[in-house]
Amino acid sequence: MSALLRIEDVSVHFPVRKGLLQRQVAEVRAVDQVTLSLRKGEAFGLVGESGCGKTTLARTVLRLVDPTSGSIWFDGTNVSALRGKSLAPFRKQVAAIFQDPFSSLNPRMTAGQILSEVLHVHRYDGRIRDRVKELLGLCGLAPRFVDLYPHEMSGGQRQRVGIARALALEPELIVCDEAVSALDVSIQAQIINLLEDLRAQFGLTYLFIGHDLSVVRHLCDRLAVMYLGRIMETGTSEDIFSSPRHPYTQALINAVPAPDPFGEEQRKHVALKGEIPSPLNPPSGCVFHTRCQIAADVCARRVPPLNWLGPQHAAACVAIDNPNHPTP
Amino acid sequence: MPLLDIKDLTVSLFQDGAETPLVREISYSVEPGEILALVGESGSGKSVSSLAVMGLLAKSLRVTSGTAHFEGRDLLALDPEEMRKLRGRQMSMIFQEPMTSLNPVRSIGAQIMESIEENLGLTRSQARSRAIDLLKEVGVADAERRLKQYPHHFSGGMRQRVMIAIALAADPKLIIADEPTTALDVTIQAQILDLMARICRDHGTALILITHNLGIVARYAQRVNVMYGGRIVEAGTARSLYSAPRHPYTDGLLQSVPRIDQDRSIPLRPIQGSPAAPFMAIPGCSFPPRSPYGTARCQTEVPAYRDGVACHTPLTLKTAEAV
């Protein structure tokens, strides 16, 4: 399978300006030298805690943020070089679903208006009203929803409208930014199943951003774990969850409680110490070394490269396969 | 004697001349030192029932029937001043949003010391040293310097530690924590909940943990009340509830969550439909529109809460396997 999306050595740095003259006093390295590729038809997850850069990376892929360096290739075209009108075909092929179905839908527009607006803008050649009903149907909403406003719907129904809007132009890639995080457990399961069904039906590719590891593991074939703008580990869901190699990935998985009182009693809990450092002033060397249980002197000096451990599995840690590295 | 004993508690919303029950005839008790989880989705009444216990209901909400006893004292009969004294000294509360529950224009020290001075009657300098001890206990490093800082100097996790310090100030017997870690990252969530569990163990404090996260319940709680539509629909030990749920709603919840400890190819079985709005008057059980096992009786008759479950057609091992 060929790569549909390639993120090549992308960095996104935001300047921090201060004072009357708005001089740049610092910069936030939201995303630092990230390289990833998504195959057509796969669901790829980006996980990490707040400030890890997962949302900035997603916004860069959507071309809502310009990368400071590096390039983004979609279907063989360097889209990070495109500007203005030349972006239109790309925008048709890439859609987004956001976290908050309350703020991502215009409260003054009915579901029908929200969906037909997208079709109008991109000059859909067909009967818009029919297509709107079809889209609602695909997302499990009855035709009567055409005339309903967002406040007349539940959170789950609103998220279905958001998904219908993303599907409107038959995109290749959908970026899902915390698409199920704001929903109640029982509704979340409905939306997860809907996303899975739609992917199977239309051969969609997902870039799924989430902080809930259980959800990402369930939905995604492969994923990358980010911390302070960098990729710590990437691999298939099986690689990452059955044999995590990076100490951060291990701690992250350990922190997620499983809904099983018996299993939880057996499990050894090692809470990660300390807080996530400020991305304004990230630690030197490996950004994780300040919270790492096995950090050595070298970790504060050298940025570890992503090392391949298997055909799809890579991790950025100097301790891996190094018998001389100290253990906790 | 249980520490907290609630019987047939009903809390209603009075708005525009209409009365809408949000919590319906719930009964449960909390023993000293135990961790009890209240689980349910938005609108299930888990927060409102706890606010009623703390005497913190908004003006439009009122307890319309039932009783709540704390160490044998009738909470609902206390006047506001007596309630205020009980709150803070004997029981305290931790909320979800550490950003909004701290005063942004007062230093952390002033806010912790206020609670200590008010509840323990200590002098300024005694209160100060107690505040430093509390901050140390909840894992805030460099406590003396941090006492002078303001909430915006603290991260979300650190603010929640400060809230725990304030809740602990008078060494209460009961803490109610309403979604204490929902706003926090998962590694910080584990730190905060480990801390709360340790404090309960060390001080013999009972904890009512309100959450929607079934994993948190499994890791930290001994007993669980599952709430739906303002009622407790099932209660029991965490172990029995998870291994053999009897209410179709509990079973549905457990089948809906993707599990980090199981094969990822197991499909999720979501509960169909949406939770019933509390404003809709439903005769009978409020869950049947979403239940795969509903019968005619469920539509007309509210199931009584008996032996830990409120359902006309509770699951047995046989029905659970058949579906």
Tell me the nearest-neighbour CA distance from B118 into chain A, angstroms.
32
For the stretch A254-309, pLDDT in tens is: 999 999 999 998 888 877 888 888 888 899 999 999 999 999 999 999 999 999 99
For the cut 70, the answer to whether the pLDDT of residue A92 exceeds it is: yes
ipTM score for this prediction: 0.84
Residue scoring higher pLDDT (B290 or A138): A138
pTM of the complete model: 0.89
CATH of the domain at B44: 3.40.50.300
Provide the chain B residues 185-214 that lie in CB contact (below 8 A) with chain A.
185-191, 194, 212-214
Above 80 in pLDDT, residue B181?
A: yes
The residue in chain A having the minimum alpha-carbon distance to the alpha carbon of residue B188 is A275
Average pLDDT score over residue span B68-91: 93
Which residues on B lie below 8 Å from A228 (Cβ)?
none
Identify whether B311 is part of a domain: yes
- Chain A CB contacts of B220 under 8 Å are 257
Instruction: List CB contacts (< 8 A) between A237 and chain B.
Output: 264
Q: Quote the pLDDT of residue A66.
A: 93
Q: Is residue B103 part of a domain?
A: no
H/E element holding A193?
A: helix A185-202
B 143-172 near A (Cβ less than 8 A): 155, 157-158
pLDDT band at B321 (very low <50, low <70, confident <90, very high): low
pLDDT of residue B317: 58
- Let me know if residue B215 belongs to a domain: yes
Average pLDDT for residues B166-178, to the nearest whole number?
Answer: 93
* Domain assignment present for B283: yes
Q: What is the mean pLDDT of residues A217-232?
A: 96
Please determine, for residue A65, whether its predicted confidence score (pLDDT) is greater than 60: yes
Number of domains in chain B: 1
- Count contacts between A and B (CB, < 8 Å): 131
pLDDT-based confidence at residue B60 (cuts at 50, 70, 90): very high
Query: For residue B288, is it within any domain?
Result: yes
Per-residue pLDDT at B320 exceeds 70:
no
B125 pLDDT tier (thresholds 50, 70, 90): very high
For chain B, what percent of residues have pLDDT higher than 90?
Answer: 65
**Could B158 and A275 be called an inter-chain contact, meaning their C-beta atoms sit closer than 8 Å?**
yes
What is the rounded average pLDDT of the residues B99-126? Answer: 90
pLDDT digits 0-9 by tens, B208-250: 999 999 999 999 999 999 999 999 999 999 999 999 999 999 9
Average confidence (pLDDT) over A85-107: 90
- The mean pLDDT of chain B is 90
Residue B51 lies in a domain: yes
Structural domain containing residue B273: 4-90+172-322
Q: Could you tell me if residue B208 is inside a domain?
A: yes
Cα dihedral value A114, A116, A117, A120, nearest 10 = 170
Residue B263 CB contacts under 8 Å (≥ 6 apart), including other chains: none
A185 to B189: CB separation less than 8 angstroms, yes or no = no
If pLDDT is split at 50, 70 and 90, which confidence band does B272 have? confident
B164 domain residue, yes or no: no
